[in-house]
A and B are shown apart, each in its own frame.
Chain A
Amino acid sequence: MLVAEAVSLRIGPVVLLDGADFEAEPGRLTVIIGPNGAGKSTLLSCLTGERRPDRGSVRLDGRDICSFTPAALAARRAVLPQSSNLSFPFTVGDVVGIGLDRRLASGPRPDDDILRLALQRVGLAGYERRLYQTLSGGERQRAHFARVLAQVWEPEVDGAPRYLMLDEPTASLDLKHQIDILDIARDYARAGGGVIAVLHDIDLAQVFADRIVVMKEGRVAAAGPAASVVTEALLKSVYQLDDRMIALKRLSA
């Protein structure tokens, strides 16, 4: 169980998080949505242990996330960043393998198998020896997703669930691959792992999420089961949509 309590974070005069509460359970796909600048990515970076909140706490199974060593954290969760740039000629296999170098993937499978399976899972089977630089934007994103999957391949190790934390995993993907990625994420949750994803697309969120957390201005505006949280009233207030835009959205749906 990953729990954030009253997390606040500011950089200079800018308040990024203002007392946000959050929880993610293993076995569930928890999606964070909200307008631009609502603090979604900042909250995620606190959940990963990358940033230490000014106030409030983030706890993984009851223990302060900042008290874990980086290596211990890496054995419990993997993080897919919004974008990565890499200016060295690594092969796809190298990139995915970086997550395996520390033998974090404790489990029955040898590393090479995990690498191959992870690439297969994201639809990049046989790409091991391709140079990362020659991939398209979408393929790069999927290669990184494979790296993240490989890092915590078994959703559960010795009864301790592991977490996938995805910051807009679908950003540069076409619709089919968006759905593929979220399918994989949901399967990971079904297998006992925890998944936290920041998504832009409310419709995708409603289809895939078990639980939706809606953020606005550094706070959590609403949270609950996917089916009941997203209402017209909420959309109006959080996204500041007027009736015209709601009608448009209903039309497109």
Chain B
Amino acid sequence: MIKVRVLLRNSIQRLVRHPVRSVLVAFTFTLGLASVVSIVGTVEGGRKAIGHDLEALGTDLIALVNPLRLGSVAIGKPTSGKPIGNDHLEKFEERLSGITDSVSPLRVDLGLTTFAGISWRHTMVSTTPGFRSVLRPGMLVGRFLEDQDQWPADDTEEVPAAIDEALAAKFFADPEDALGVKFRSIREGKAFDSRIVGVVSDPLLLRKHLSSFDATSRARSIPARRLEFLNLYFPWRSSEDLPSVVLIDAPSIDAVDSVLEEVKEIVDQEQLGVYIHVQKWWTAVVLEILDRFRGLGHFVWILNLVVVLILTGTISLLAIDESIEEVAIRRAEGATIMAVMMPIFVEGSLLAMLAMPPGIYLGSLILDFSIQPVLGWPAHLPVETVAGTCFALLLTSILACILPAIRVANLEPASVLGRRRDL
């Protein structure tokens, strides 16, 4: 058996002594890896970016709608049983706390707000501070309701509230001017004052984002059906408010299914009669197309490696033909078949490893300067995918050496060394 030190030294010496072949093979590996990296980065980046956009449309939301409070709205999966009460809310929060961003109850009422002689009928929403996670970054001026924001015990005191940009625009030229302003409102026939602590901007995006929530309003009055997110948001009163809707915010689209399983289990256990609306199902077609796109990426990934395999295999085969006499001499001097085959595999592996850093770097450059500006989404290269690609390249380099190694194994030193055979 050849010694490892000798094997490595011989392999490196052969790489150095055959620079053209070494450079050609390493270059092929580099280009192959770069193209694979750029394909993987594009596909994964595309899925992430589009997935993120879908999340912004509320695709990571699950809405539990209390049908008894909103009528028989034909959305989601109907179940039969009790409506969600405050005691159930605690169970949902407890069971889902580790796997969701938030569990937010929403009570929706119609109300009237007046400011500077202008009055508007609009929806009023009571919710918990967890609802903040539903609002995407950049959608809030000021702040949302927090734990310290409570409905005051004294009716004459002001209620902290957040306002939708669209409603604020009814009273101010610049919606942000509503910050800190006191409004006079009527809800369920009861008048009270509210002080604005935050403005929720971009109502159109919010409307898209909460389309499931929006849909629940269709069973209500005509103004509510035309809900344009002219909302005032008030703190949740656990002693008085009952949820119309419970919004469950999963951390990502991919996590929705596992969260949903848990939700269904709670619904079954508590015998709740709610409509379960999963926004992700509305966008399932897009996600499916994305996954097919990803599958196509993997196919091209394999195709690339096959091309690299054929190219490097051919180069290695030609190189072996050139050094056939050396192999015969080594065999005559006592090398076993394995001892002459091993350096071929080691050479291939070394070249593949040498090609890895420039291949990944070149692939990243292609992503940064060619693909990203054209497609408009940032590349995404998961570490495990890059590691898997490098491993696949290493495997390819070994596979590419099989034919040359077989040729070496079948070589008869007597016929090579005695080419002038005269019997």
Judge: A and B partners, yes or no.
no
